[in-house]
């Protein structure tokens, strides 16, 4: 997923903000109610304590979500560095190949110039050897008549014209060889400069990954502490519910409701995934199909072009695929990579899946679009359109500084204020409602 914050100080600030969200009651077990004078402690009402625990758990979860999201932003900034590294390496390879081709051309031009010079030398030698035959006096002396004189004069003119042509050709070949050599030298310099930029990009990418690792190391202890506090509150709530039939019944109803909602979403995603796959296969075979994954997801398909439909179906065919930071290309899910932090903690490097920008690469490859593996660069890959004019197939983005800063997440708009996304480590590709929060970018990018 995600994008960019400006440094460890920002992460520290977010950590501090996250901590302020956790009330003192979460940071330490609640103090017992002071006993009345001369008596034992007054027991706390289980329902009151349960309500307090629920509030503490919600606060802890919110703090964890904020902290995890901020660390995810660092991952996407590292994605940008890796994309820059890839681009610089590709440019360096192209420059090297161009330099090699230019040098081969220069060598060929030099060889041609040498051949032209050898031809001129041969003409000069022949001219001196035949001067007694082709000279002005020789044309007249020893001739057998006017016709013989005319023939000898014509031969001399031909020889002279050929000699001039050879001299001109040699000069042109010499000039072309010099120009080709200059081009080859310039190409070599450009290749060296491109190689230097590629090396610098590699250093920058390594440095960004190191910063991610450093920031994450500083945050992991806080993540563990918040998780432990949340788990302790949940365990205490569970014990209270087990001891109180009314609370237990309330818990069971809530869990049943959540389980039913999850089951409905899982079943819907399975139907949509099957329908999207069937649609792609039918389109590839130039056959018709009654499956409509968007309609199955409750999204209108009126007026969609085949190109947009294919992009959406390609993304929806990956519902349920695990998130893997750095994963995904034009061919499908790939192994994730190490970030030294959140992604590593979830084992992304050992998973085959997508991150947010990797899923977009795969979806739009069906439309012949070659996207970079960084959401911020994807935002600049097509036409910018106002968010309120969004339509299915557009890219949605979220960024720091109320949507005006570095981009840290991308999703594909499905219509009906629904989107498909690869959210973050520990989750899977999913359909979700568009998050119209402060960080959503006020423009979408239209590629198809």
Q: Beta-carbon neighbour count of residue 94 at 10 Å?
A: 13
Read off φ and ψ for residue 408, nearest 5 degrees. Answer: -130, 0
14 closest CA partner among 209, 215, 207: 215
Rg (CA), the chain: 37
Q: What's the CA gap between 48 and 58, in Å, rounded?
A: 16
Q: What's the CA gap between 128 and 383, in Å, rounded?
A: 73
Q: What's the CA gap between 71 and 15, in Å, rounded?
A: 10
Calculate the CA 198 to chain-centre distance.
17
Catalytic residue (one of 76, 208, 313, 356):
356
Task: Check: CB of residue 66 under 8 Å from CB of residue 15.
Answer: no
Catalytic residue (one of 373, 408, 409, 439):
409
Lookup result for tokens 């042109």? 172
Query: 356 catalytic, yes or no?
Result: yes
Read off φ and ψ for residue 72, nearest 5 degrees. Answer: -60, -35
Which residues are bridge partners to 334 per DSSP? Answer: 353
Q: Beta-carbon neighbour count of residue 155 at 10 Å?
A: 14
Lookup result for tokens 């660390």? 71
Query: 100 catalytic, yes or no?
Result: no
Query: 255 catalytic, yes or no?
Result: no
Q: What are the angstrom distances between the C-alpha of 431 and each of 211, 353, 394, 421? A: 32, 16, 15, 7
Residue 88 half-sphere exposure, CB side, CA atoms within 13 Å? Answer: 20
Catalytic residue (one of 76, 208, 313, 421):
421
What residues are labeled active site? 356, 409, 421
């Amino acid at each position: 997923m995600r994008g960019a914050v400006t440094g460890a100080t920002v992460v520290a600030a977010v950590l501090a903000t996250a901590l302020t969200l956790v009330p003192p009651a979460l940071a330490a077990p609640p103090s017992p109610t002071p006993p009345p004078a001369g008596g034992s402690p007054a027991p706390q009402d289980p329902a009151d304590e349960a309500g307090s625990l629920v509030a503490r758990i919600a606060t802890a979860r919110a703090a964890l979500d904020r902290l995890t999201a901020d660390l995810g932003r660092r991952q996407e900034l590292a994605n940008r560095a890796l994309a820059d590294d890839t681009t610089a390496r590709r440019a360096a390879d192209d420059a090297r190949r161009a330099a090699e081709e230019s040098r081969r051309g220069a060598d060929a031009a030099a060889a041609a110039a040498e051949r032209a010079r050898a031809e001129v030398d041969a003409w000069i030698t022949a001219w001196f050897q035949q001067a007694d035959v082709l000279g002005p006096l020789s044309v007249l002396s020893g001739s057998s008549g006017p016709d013989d004189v005319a023939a000898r004069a014509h031969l001399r003119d031909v020889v002279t014209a050929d000699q001039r042509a050879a001299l001109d050709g040699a000069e042109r070949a010499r000039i072309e060889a010099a120009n080709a050599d200059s081009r080859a030298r310039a190409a070599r310099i450009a290749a060296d400069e491109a190689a230097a930029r590629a090396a610098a990009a590699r250093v920058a990418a390594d440095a960004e990954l190191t910063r991610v690792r450093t920031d994450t190391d500083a945050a992991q202890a806080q993540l563990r502490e918040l998780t432990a506090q949340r788990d302790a509150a949940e365990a205490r709530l569970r014990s209270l519910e087990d001891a109180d039939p009314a609370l237990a019944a309330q818990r069971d109803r809530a869990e049943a409701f959540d389980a039913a909602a999850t089951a409905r979403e899982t079943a819907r995603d399975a139907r949509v995934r099957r329908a999207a796959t069937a649609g792609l296969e039918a389109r590839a075979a130039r056959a018709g199909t009654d499956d409509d994954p968007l309609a199955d997801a409750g999204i209108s398909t009126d007026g969609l072009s085949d190109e947009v439909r294919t992009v959406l179906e390609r993304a929806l065919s990956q519902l349920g695929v695990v998130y893997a930071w750095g994963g995904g290309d034009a061919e499908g899910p790939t192994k994730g990579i190490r970030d030294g932090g959140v992604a590593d903690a979830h084992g992304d490097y050992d998973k085959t899946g997508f991150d947010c920008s990797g899923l977009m690469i795969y979806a739009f490859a069906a439309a012949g679009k070659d996207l970079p593996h960084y959401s911020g660069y994807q935002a600049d890959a097509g036409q910018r359109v106002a968010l309120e004019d969004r339509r299915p197939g557009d890219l949605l983005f979220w960024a720091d500084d109320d949507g005006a800063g570095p981009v840290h997440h991308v999703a594909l708009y499905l219509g009906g204020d629904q989107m498909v996304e690869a959210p973050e480590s520990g989750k899977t590709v999913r359909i979700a409602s568009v998050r119209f929060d402060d960080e959503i970018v006020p423009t979408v990018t239209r590629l198809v």
